Amino acid sequence: MIDDWFPLALVLLLSIFLGYELISKVPSTLHTPLMSGSNAISGITLIGAISAAGAAHNSGFSQVLAVLAVALATVNVVGGYVVTNRMLGMFKKKEREGDLS
Amino acid sequence: MNTATEIAYLVAAASFILGLRMLGSPETARHGNLLSAFGMSLAALVTFFGDEMENYGWVLFGIVIGAVVGVVAARLVEMTAMPEMVALFNGSGGAASLFLGWVVHLSTSPNFFTASTVIMAVFIGGTTFTGSLVAWAKLRELTLAGKRLGGAYTFPGQRAINMGVLIIALLGGVVYAADSSGSVAAGGLAVGILLSLLFGILLVVPIGGADMPVVIAVLNSLSGLAACAAGFAVENAILVVAGALVGASGFILTTVMCKSMNRTLVNVFAGGFGATGGGAGTVVDGVVQPIMAEDAYYLLEAADSVVIVPGYGLAVAQAQHVVREMSDLLEKSGADVRYAIHPVAGRMPGHMNVLLAEANVPYDVLAEMDDINPVMGTVDVCLVVGANDVVNPAARDDECSPIYGMPIIDVDRARIVIVLKRSMGTGFAGISNPLFFRSNTRMLFGDAKTSLQQVVSEFKD
């Protein structure tokens, strides 16, 4: 019999291996944007936080915690993506003058 | 959760995966990041307009505050301060996971499995939070009680204390998970929260200086794992997928940094870079051959291929732009110019590449250490600016050197090496560098930026 936790554990296992394969291919030139970009992804907690803060049955204290979680995760997500975009915008290819090929 | 939400989460997960894949090449990286941001926005939107939502106002309030802070911080940050910024973002993500775990505890009566994931989200999130704050303070070189932070602080019994804290936290977690609605549960959770905050501080305090890039990579990984644990706690697979991807990414970057510094992770966390003893290695004596900017100009002008090896000293001297100006002039006179970047050049993985990109150096002339070393013998002039330990041949040849075994850029194999250096002092780690005494090495003493400006003005004359 399969318990509730099993599908999630399987997802976890596969994601770790997938992540390892994906990230191994990123050249060190891009390691800083990779770090800030993946940092933004780690703000995925936002999804859970929105559900928690939007739920009806919260007490006062847990509502405060949930809203804090939303705000902090949003800082992580929005800041992470914006700063990564800013950095990647600076990476330019060489302009070759008189390149005829 | 309705079907539309589930489909949106699937699309979001695919966006994260494809986005990370596109980050693998400078040509597609920017689109990859935007794709990933799209996935995140989509997931947030469908959650916001989901079936179980009631308190729109509060959620919106949190999102607006967070977005404003995030955008302002991301737009104002200097590229040299990127490690601090990433540390703070990591910390806020960690804190969010801590709070989310806490809310799950307060609003549901979790079973054993959920309770274990709650305590893990709380513990990893809390450690990431305070660890990131300490890392930020160190990177900013803030002062605390008249003492400058940034160094490595070790004290006797440090390992034992860290282990003790970890064990007590674990026990607290077990107590909590075993009976998460019982009378002792709240105590167990409280112990978990407090000790996680303490553990984050204890973990980062003994690390400093050159090891900071490793810390940032580890905290990056932890913030992903915290999100993962939170995903189990709220039973949402999208958190698990995204968290695991980040966890793996941070792990790889940690490994890369450790390898490039010839250190093990345990070694780093035991603390005190250079405090491990071993002295400065075999002391080299010999004659250095100092040159003037004018001589450097003649050497460079005659060269067909030039490799520039920048270290963080280049960024400290704010000399990126003048280096770029010089390499443009060299290229105009027909030379092939490349930049060789050591993985630990800079204050976080890949940092030097960003600093050069900011100075409009195109990414296709940036070469990685492993690609440039095999062809170093064919290079006419190698220009070392603000780098020291990463070009120290003692790491390759001198078994007594404390950095023996660390991978280096083999600049000494170029026909001529020009080292820009303020004086003959030893480098950051106080290790003597035989490169300076080689017969093919020329020393150009003085401030790096001024020296380069002199070379540039020679070119223009």
Q: CA of B359 to nearest chain A CA: how many angstroms apart?
A: 8
State yes or no: pLDDT of A97 exceeds 80.
no
- Say which DSSP state B308 is in: E
Query: Is A5 touching B (CB cutoff 8 A)?
Result: yes
| ipTM value for the complex | 0.92
pLDDT in tens, B9-44: 999 999 999 999 999 999 999 999 999 999 999 999
- Token pair of A68 as six digits: 């804090």
**Euclidean distance between CA atoms B199 and B203, whole angstroms:** 6
- Say which DSSP state A29 is in: G
Is B354 inside any structural domain? yes
- Token pair of A40 as six digits: 């933004």
Mutate to test the interface with B, among A62, A75, A84 (most CBs of B within 10 A): A75
**Euclidean distance between CA atoms B205 and B150, whole angstroms:** 9
- Which residues of chain B have a CB within 8 Å of the CB of A36? 82, 85-86, 89
State yes or no: pLDDT of B111 exceeds 70.
yes
- Short-list A5, A80, A37, A49, CA closest to B98: A49
**Euclidean distance between CA atoms B131 and B220, whole angstroms:** 11
CATH code of B451's domain: 3.40.50.1220
Q: Structural domain tally of chain A? A: 1
Residue with structure tokens 């001198």? B398
- Which residues of chain B have a CB within 8 Å of the CB of A26? 20, 23-24
Which of A3, A15, A77 has the CB atom closest to B244's CB atom?
A15
- Short-list B338, B164, B249, CA closest to A34: B249
B134-158 average pLDDT score = 78
Of B389, B398, B410, B412, the active-site residue reads B389
Going by DSSP bridges, is the β-strand pair B336-341/B366-368 parallel, antiparallel, or unpaired?
parallel
**Euclidean distance between CA atoms B446 and B451, whole angstroms:** 6
**Euclidean distance between CA atoms B210 and B344, whole angstroms:** 8
pLDDT at position B152 is 72
**Euclidean distance between CA atoms B237 and B235, whole angstroms:** 6
pLDDT in tens, B233-276: 999 999 999 999 999 999 999 998 898 888 888 888 776 544 44
Q: CA of A97 to nearest chain B CA: how many angstroms apart?
A: 11
pLDDT in tens, B43-75: 999 999 988 888 899 999 999 999 999 999 999
Q: CA of A21 to nearest chain B CA: how many angstroms apart?
A: 9
Does the distance separating the beta carbons of B107 and A52 come in below 8 Å? yes
- Token pair of A25 as six digits: 């291919």
Is B101 inside any structural domain? yes
Exposed/middle/buried for B132, CB within 10 Å: 0-12, 13-18, 19+?
buried
Mutate to test the interface with A, among B61, B85, B92, B358 (most CBs of A within 10 A): B92
Which of B74, B107, B368 has the CB atom closest to A28's CB atom?
B368
Residues B301 and B260 in one domain: no
**Euclidean distance between CA atoms A20 and B210, whole angstroms:** 25
- Token pair of A15 as six digits: 């994601």
**Closest A-chain CA to B348:** A32
**Euclidean distance between CA atoms B353 and B367, whole angstroms:** 10
State yes or no: pLDDT of B401 exceeds 50.
yes
Residues B303 and B442 in one domain: yes
Is A55 inside any structural domain? yes
- Token pair of B6 as six digits: 């589930």
State yes or no: pLDDT of B186 exceeds 70.
yes
The answer to whether the beta carbons of residues B409 and B371 sit under 8 Å apart is no
Is A15 inside any structural domain? no
Dihedral sign (CA B383, B386, B387, B393)? positive
Residues B143 and B178 in one domain: yes
Q: CA of A5 to nearest chain B CA: how many angstroms apart?
A: 8
B409-438 average pLDDT score = 82
Q: CA of B173 to nearest chain A CA: how many angstroms apart?
A: 19
pLDDT in tens, A29-57: 999 999 999 999 999 999 999 999 998 77
Is A17 inside any structural domain? no
Is A16 inside any structural domain? no
Of B239, B270, B301, the last residue of a domain is B270
State yes or no: pLDDT of A15 exceeds 70.
yes
What residues have CB less than 8 Å from A94, skipping those under 6 apart?
B362, B364, B365
Is B39 inside any structural domain? no
Cα of A72 vs its chain's centroid, Å: 13
Is B425 inside any structural domain? yes
Residues B228 and B183 in one domain: yes
Residues B214 and B253 in one domain: yes
Residue with structure tokens 């006797």? B156
User: % helix / strand / coil in chain B, to the nearest 5?
Assistant: 65, 10, 30
- Which residues of chain B have a CB within 8 Å of the CB of A73? 66, 92-93, 96
Does the distance separating the beta carbons of A90 and B357 come in below 8 Å? yes
Query: Is A62 touching B (CB cutoff 8 A)?
Result: yes
Global pTM?
0.90
User: Would you call B339 helix, strand, or coil by DSSP?
Assistant: strand
- Which residues of chain A have a CB within 8 Å of the CB of B53? 50-51, 54-55
Is A52 inside any structural domain? yes
Is A11 inside any structural domain? no
Q: CA of A1 to nearest chain B CA: how many angstroms apart?
A: 16
Residues B175 and B226 in one domain: yes
Residues B306 and B179 in one domain: no
- Token pair of B187 as six digits: 């105590």
Give the angle subtended at the CA of B298 by the CAs of B294 and B302, to the nearest 5°: 165
Residues B330 and B372 in one domain: yes
Does the distance separating the beta carbons of B16 and A54 come in below 8 Å? no
- Token pair of A16 as six digits: 């770790």
**Euclidean distance between CA atoms B327 and A39, whole angstroms:** 34
Which of B96, B107, B346 has the CB atom closest to A45's CB atom?
B96
**Euclidean distance between CA atoms B83 and B213, whole angstroms:** 8
Which of A4, A46, A71 has the CB atom closest to B44's CB atom?
A46
- Token pair of B305 as six digits: 């291929």
How many CA atoms, within 13 angstroms, populate the side-chain half-sphere of residue B300?
33
**Closest A-chain CA to B83:** A32
- Which residues of chain A have a CB within 8 Å of the CB of B61? 67
Query: Is A99 touching B (CB cutoff 8 A)?
Result: no
Exposed/middle/buried for B445, CB within 10 Å: 0-12, 13-18, 19+?
middle
Query: Is A11 touching B (CB cutoff 8 A)?
Result: yes
Report residue A11's pLDDT band, with 50, 70 and 90 as the boundaries: very high
| Total count of residues recorded for chain B | 461
Which of A16, A23, A78 has the CB atom closest to B20's CB atom?
A23
A7-20 average pLDDT score = 93
pLDDT at position B230 is 95
Residues B239 and B312 in one domain: no
Which of A38, A67, A92 has the CB atom closest to B249's CB atom?
A38
Residues B217 and B324 in one domain: no
Exposed/middle/buried for B129, CB within 10 Å: 0-12, 13-18, 19+?
buried
Query: Is A56 touching B (CB cutoff 8 A)?
Result: yes
pLDDT in tens, B317-346: 888 899 999 999 999 988 999 999 998 888
Residues B186 and B85 in one domain: yes
Report residue B187's pLDDT band, with 50, 70 and 90 as the boundaries: confident
**Euclidean distance between CA atoms B108 and B218, whole angstroms:** 31
Domain that residue B392 falls in: 293-460
Query: Is A41 touching B (CB cutoff 8 A)?
Result: yes
Does the distance separating the beta carbons of B61 and A52 come in below 8 Å? no
Q: Structural domain tally of chain B? A: 2
Sort residue B97 into left (φ over 0), alpha (ψ -120 to 50) or beta: alpha
Domain that residue A55 falls in: 25-90
pLDDT in tens, B276-314: 444 566 676 778 888 988 899 999 989 999 999 998 888
Residue B41 vs residues A46, B37, B387: alpha-carbon distances, Å: 10, 6, 42
The answer to whether the beta carbons of residues A45 and A75 sit under 8 Å apart is no
Residues B96 and B223 in one domain: yes
Is B277 inside any structural domain? no
Catalytic annotation on B336? no
Does the distance separating the beta carbons of B350 and A15 come in below 8 Å? no
Query: Is A12 touching B (CB cutoff 8 A)?
Result: yes
